[in-house]
Amino acid sequence: MQEIIDGVVQAFNLIITLNPEVFEIAALSLYISLSATILAALISIPLAGLIHFREFRGKKTLIIIIQTFYSVPTVVVGLVIYLMISRSGPLGFFGLLFTPEGMILGQTVLIMPIMMGLVISALGGVGRDIRDMLVSLGATEFQGILEIVREARYAILSAVVLGFGRAISEVGVAMMIGGNIRGSTRILTTSIALETGMGNFGFSIALGIILLGIALIVVVILNIITSGLSQEQLQALGGQHS
Partner 1 sequence: MIRITNLSRRAGNRTILDSVNLEIRRGEIFTLIGPSGSGKTTLLRLLDLLDKPTGGSIVLDGVATDGSKAAELAARRKMAMVFQKPTVLNTTVAQNIAVGLRFRGERGSGISDQVQSVLDLVGLSGFADRKAVTLSGGEMQRIAIARAIITKPEVLLLDEPTANLDPENAAMIEDLILQINKTFDTTIVLSTHDMIQGQRLAHRIGVIMDGRLVQAGEIPDIFFHPVNRTVASFVGIEPIRGGIVERNEEGLGTIKAGNLRIQAVTNKPQGSKVTLCIRPEDVTLNKPDEPCPSGSARNCLQGTVTRLIPLGPFTRVYLDCDGIVVAALVTRKSEEELGIEKGSRLAAHIKATAIHVIPDK
Residue 53 touching partner 1 (CB under 8 A): no
Residue 224 touching partner 1 (CB under 8 A): no
**77 burial level (CB within 10 Å; 0-12, 13-18, 19+):** buried
Q: Which is nearer to partner 1, 137 or 220 (CB)?
A: 137
Site string for partner 1, 140-159 (x = CB under 8 A): x--x---x--xx--x-----
Segment 73 to 132, residues that bind partner 1, using CB under 8 A: 127, 129-130, 132
Where would I find the H helices in 86-152?
100-124, 128-136, 141-151
Does residue 218 come out as left (phi exceeding 0), alpha (psi in the -120 to 50 range) or beta? alpha
Which one among 138, 197, 198, 242 touches partner 1, defined by CB under 8 A?
Answer: 138
Question: Most distant CA pair in the chain: distance in Å?
Answer: 71
Residue type present at position 98: F
**Interacting residues of 194 by C-beta distance below 8 A, sequence separation 6+:** 180, 186
Nearest approach, Cβ of residue 59 and partner 1 (Å) = 21
Which one among 17, 61, 71, 136 touches partner 1, defined by CB under 8 A?
Answer: 136
Judged by the rule CB under 8 A, the positions of this chain that interact with partner 1 are 127, 129-130, 132-140, 143, 147, 150-151, 154, 228-230, 233
